[in-house]
Amino acid sequence: MSEPLLELRDVKAGYGPITALHGISLDVGEGEIVTMIGANGAGKSSTLRAISGILKPTAGKITFAGKPIGGHAANEIVRLGISHSPEGRQVFPRLTVRENLELGAYTRSDKAEIRDDLRTMHDMFPILEERGQQLAGTLSGGEQQMLALARALMSRPKLLLLDEPSLGLAPLIVQKIFAVIRELNSRGIAILLVEQNAKQALKLAQRGYVLESGQISFSGPASELLNDTRVQEAYLGA
């Protein structure tokens, strides 16, 4: 891999007295899909939060497109090209679908291009156009996940951080979400994916990292992790 798009080196972070990340090092290359797998509480969401600026790292280095971003404000990081779709979807329930999408572009001022991107989102997720005036909180779980994804894309990211996009969704909707992730990637967007469905995530990704108690325990090409007996026993239900 040439110069990675995103690079974490020995990143530490936590919540008050709790240290959640004990020194995370990982890379995401241009146009790559990379997945992080691990048990509940291993630090997957915290890693994404540290990258997107929601959680301030206490040590280590985060570099994006050659620039240090560790400790930068979240809106600054969005502007640089990283978008975070958090766990639990977190759409704004009292705003309409359309307003949620427009908020995804809050760091941009290129009105004509924002309109073009809204069009693209509506083409990709026709239900979001159909339900444009509906309050986001009244959408179904799958629709809210699509809205969360589409909103994250409205900032035109180079890197998308996806936290459990299939959580709690019916199998057919899960397939749709995975197909969308594949399509976004084919358009050149790099993706760092956290997924409870480790098998599907490893089938989609090029590389994977296994997190245990705030540390990377091992990593490698996704195909190798899929065939690794430690991964199979701990995370793939083998």
Using CB under 6 A, pick the residue from 42, 161, 174, 189 that binds ligand ATP: 42
Q: Decide: is 41 part of the binding site for ligand ATP (CB under 6 A).
A: yes
Asked if 44 and 36 count as a contact pair (C-beta separation under 8 A), the reply is: yes
Q: Decide: is 88 part of the binding site for ligand ATP (CB under 6 A).
A: no
The minimum distance between CB 204 and ligand ATP, in angstroms, equals 18
CA gap 51, 46 in Å, rounded = 9
- 70 closest CA partner among 83, 82, 60, 80: 60
126 vs 168, beta carbon nearer ligand ATP: 168
Q: Decide: is 165 part of the binding site for ligand ATP (CB under 6 A).
A: no
Q: Residue 178 is inside which H or E element, if any?
A: helix 171-186
Q: Decide: is 40 part of the binding site for ligand ATP (CB under 6 A).
A: yes
Q: Decide: is 43 part of the binding site for ligand ATP (CB under 6 A).
A: yes
The minimum distance between CB 45 and ligand ATP, in angstroms, equals 3
Other CB atoms within 10 A of residue 238 CB: 9
34 vs 114, beta carbon nearer ligand ATP: 34
Q: Which residues contact 112 (CB under 8 A, 6 or more apart)?
A: none
Residue 70 CA neighbour count, 13 Å, CB half: 17
13 vs 190, beta carbon nearer ligand ATP: 13
Q: Decide: is 18 part of the binding site for ligand ATP (CB under 6 A).
A: yes
The minimum distance between CB 152 and ligand ATP, in angstroms, equals 17
